[in-house]
Structure 1
């Protein structure tokens, strides 16, 4: 019996059948043909009909056992995998061979397992990365305060300024994490309205410090980076949520300024997009740029490792959350954000439809 089951699992002649009903129909037809054949054999060989009936029942039961084992194999595998996932192991997968409803269920189960594995991995990475990001400024702030308490240094403006910088860095990290919690929460309402693009962008740039960090503090003030605004035509208007769009522009300029060379220029461009009130924004710097192999990953959370843009004259390493938040806000508007080919440095291209989008869950 075991040998027959192994042969059946290798051959699996019923896998091409697309439904369980079809497989059961094939089973009934085979059983009827088998019983009819044995009756014919009995009539010609003058064998007793009860013997033929006994052999027919045994053969039918064997076929039903083989088919039942084949049909329920994915279900048994899913049961084992579900128990493993309940214990925290999301690496189990179900072998999909059949094309019927059970096969579709097994395929869906594998997709669910892959999603759960990715979510669990993301959760672990998030905890580890946030812990690392919080530990650095907390340790620096603790060292400064301990030196002041022990009398090693005096609480002069320079010492208090260093402590303030660490506190501001913690504040920016917490703000980013709160924004990401809104992303994980799903739908965020948009307050879209028409606005004048040039005054809006000028206001955003005025609220930024020279090194690109949002108003509220930075590691060091860089006077060698110039912010340039280019809006064409002059009376350009757009339709968006100004608060969310402010996040996009501020984070993109923040990233561009941090990785600009000494004496660099960061250019913010705005042009009319497709459709009424469509808007195209570009932020370009003169830094090292982003290699092609990293362009699809720079908008992921905490995506810094391995990219040359993770270092620069004005960069403290950052949290790796700014571009993720920018993508989130653009997705809320139904637009697109990508790294484009620029004449120099890094060029981030943002396109907004200009109409109130259908609210959808942003990409994680």
Structure 2
């Protein structure tokens, strides 16, 4: 059976920020004032003063009242229009930006130069537009990534089943095992997406219980070894003291450690060792759990980004990872009020260029913190 190439990553949507052409009539001499009411008062006073001054000048010049009054009113209106245009310019810009956003263009921004309520509104509007643009880009990336991640196992499963139906491959245990592996991969992705939907909805509650870590970690390692599909790696568990316990949600912590072990097994070399260590924190109010493997490690500049969705540590991952495991692990640890991070590998000879495979989970003990 020929292997199908993975689907190409969808290119991100291009950002074409539009530059606003400055309006030559957009005069804003009142931007220094922090109150729109004060601006209105100054506008009224300035218009009245200009009208009175022009009236006095026209009288002294001997201009007929029937001609002077319309001229004074016209000049006062022009003066009012110039000042009012600058005061209301952010409102017009926000209207145009809102109309553009309704068409799906989130690149429009407003020029907030005034200090009054309108300027504050314009600044808040620009911030909202920026956040909406980021959210829309995240949505596009999510759709592209999920489409790619779903397409790969579905394509593999379809090819395997077509080979079985056409008689190219015999329906022996090996062929069925390949189909089962692709099905499990698809199921794992669906479960991860469901977890992310619960994350976004914020509807997950913790079922706290006392967990004895030695048997618990052995149970997680057994499950991870089974899911590793016979990868030739060694699992080493070290809990100090052996009867160490922590109060947490067993299902969620099982999910965290299982994701870390699955990620470690995927990137470990043949006959590589995966260490799982646990001990109480220095302050005695929680525990830390380390997962360390002998894989290529995570670059220093990628240590924060690796916990984001659909990120894989800054290097190509053709081993079947979804790029969601570490994001879900960070979410589950965060539910407990804990932390998860990539630490420096103490074995400097195995950490070239600042890479490290040592990931530490710190869990506050709910029993000691209450």
TM-score range, shorter chain: 0.7 to 0.9
| Aligned partner (choices 210, 232, 237) of residue 240 of structure 2 | 232
Does 2:239 correspond to 1:242? Answer: no
CA distance in 2, matches of 1:251, 1:198: 18
Residue 260 of structure 1 contacts residue 287 of structure 1 at CA under 8 Å; is this kept in 2?
Answer: yes
> 2:338 touches 2:362 (CA, 8 Å); kept in 1?
yes
Contact kept, 8 Å, 1:227 with 1:266, in 2: the verdict is yes
- 8 A Cα contact 1:19 1:100, kept in partner: yes
Residue 259, structure 1, aligned to residue 270, structure 2: no
Cα distance per residue 1:322-349 (max 9 Å; x no partner)? 0111111122222222222122431222
Equivalent residue in structure 1 for 2:304, among 296, 299, 302:
296
CA distance in 1, matches of 2:91, 2:31: 15
Alpha-carbon distance, 1:120 to partner: 1.8
SS at match of 2:168: coil
Q: For residues 50 and 22 of structure 1, what CA distance do their matches in structure 2 show?
A: 34
Q: Confirm or deny that 1:96 pairs with 2:105.
A: no
2:85 is the alignment partner of 1:84 = no
Q: Which residue of 2 aligns with 1:111?
A: 127
Q: Are 1:272 and 2:280 an aligned pair?
A: yes
Q: Secondary structure at the match of 2:235?
A: strand
* Cα separation, partners in 2 of 1:331 and 1:34, compared to 1, 3 Å: same
Query: Is 1:328 matched up with 2:339?
Result: no
> 1:336–1:26: structure 2 CA closer, same or farther, 3 Å change rule?
farther
Q: Equivalent residue for 2:35?
A: 19
Say if 2:231 is the partner of 1:222.
yes
Which of these residues, 179, 183, 186, is aligned with residue 195 of structure 2? Answer: 179
Residue 41 of structure 1: how far off its partner (Å): 5.8
Q: Structure 1: which 5+ runs fail to align?
A: 210-214, 357-364
> Paired residue for 2:321, among 301, 318, 326?
318
**In the TM superposition, what are the counterparts of 1:120-159 in structure 2 within 5 Å?**
120-159=136-175
Q: Structure 2: how far apart are the matches of 1:16 and 1:202?
A: 67
The residue that corresponds to 2:293 in the other structure is 285
Which SS does the other structure have where 1:270 is aligned?
strand
Query: CA contact under 8 A between 2:231 and 2:265: conserved in structure 1?
Result: no
- Further displaced range: 270-279 or 170-179: 270-279
Pairs aligned (count) = 338
SS at match of 1:208: helix
- 1:307 equivalent to 2:310? Answer no
Distance in 2, matches of 1:143 and 1:271, equals: 47
SS at match of 1:89: coil
Classify 1:43/1:80 alpha carbon distance in 2 versus 1 (closer, same or farther; 3 Å).
closer
Secondary structure of the 1:298 match is helix
- Closer, same or farther in 2 for the Cα pair 1:275/1:24, shift >3 Å? farther
Give the whole-Å Cα distance in 2 for the aligned partners of 1:351 and 1:285: 18
Q: Is the 8 A contact 2:275 2:292 kept in 1?
A: yes
> TM-score w.r.t. structure 2 length?
0.81
2:187, 2:151 → 1: CA distance?
Answer: 13
User: Would the alpha carbon gap of residues 236 and 17 (structure 1) be closer, same or farther in structure 2, given more than 3 Å must change?
Assistant: farther
CA spacing shift, 1:191–1:74, aligned 2, 3 Å: same
CA displacement at 1:182 relative to structure 2: 0.9
2:203 and 2:120 mapped to 1: Cα distance? 30
- Could you list the runs of 5+ residues in structure 2 that have no partner in the other structure? 1-21
Contact 1:237/1:277, CA 8 A, preserved across alignment: no
